[in-house]
Amino acid sequence: MKKVFFICFCLIFISNFLFAQADKALWVTIKSANLKCWECRETLDKYLTVENHSNFEKGIIQWKYNLLQGEIKLQYFPDRVNPDQIRIAMNNVGFDADTEKATEEAYKKLPASCKRAEDGGGPQPKKPCHMEPYKGN
């Protein structure tokens, strides 16, 4: 009986030690001049999902968009991914990330609504694009 208690105590002690060593998740907000519509959001969602599973070792926990402000807020594990890697991934899919501009080749592949305002993209007068259009039944 003493052995059982001793083993349980050791397991509890070891598990507490392991969980105490885990890095806490952090948040980062990244602004993007060409992240203003639902179509942009879908494009970035698909890319980040694949990137998170293949290159970031599932380091991004969640992300939230503010399309009216043109920003994405991400929660991530700092031992698996860092904000610079996330910015580079956004650049590689065609989106500006803070001060970093998107790669030219990826930017050209974006839908017209996802281009920068100076290139004619983004919200158009009387045509809000921050919400997905209603498709009906």
Backbone angles phi, psi at 27, to 5 degrees: -115, 145
The domain ranges of the chain are: 26-119
pLDDT at 64: 96
Mean pLDDT over residues 61-86, rounded?
Answer: 94
Query: How far is CA 112 from each of CA 34, 72, 85, 128, 129, rounded to the nearest angstrom?
Result: 10, 20, 26, 14, 12
Task: Work out the pLDDT band at 3, boundaries 50, 70, 90.
Answer: confident
Give yes or no for residue 17 having a pLDDT over 70: no
pLDDT in tens, 87-122: 999 999 999 999 999 999 999 999 888 888 888 877
CATH 3.30.70.100 applies to domain 26-119: yes
pTM for the model: 0.75
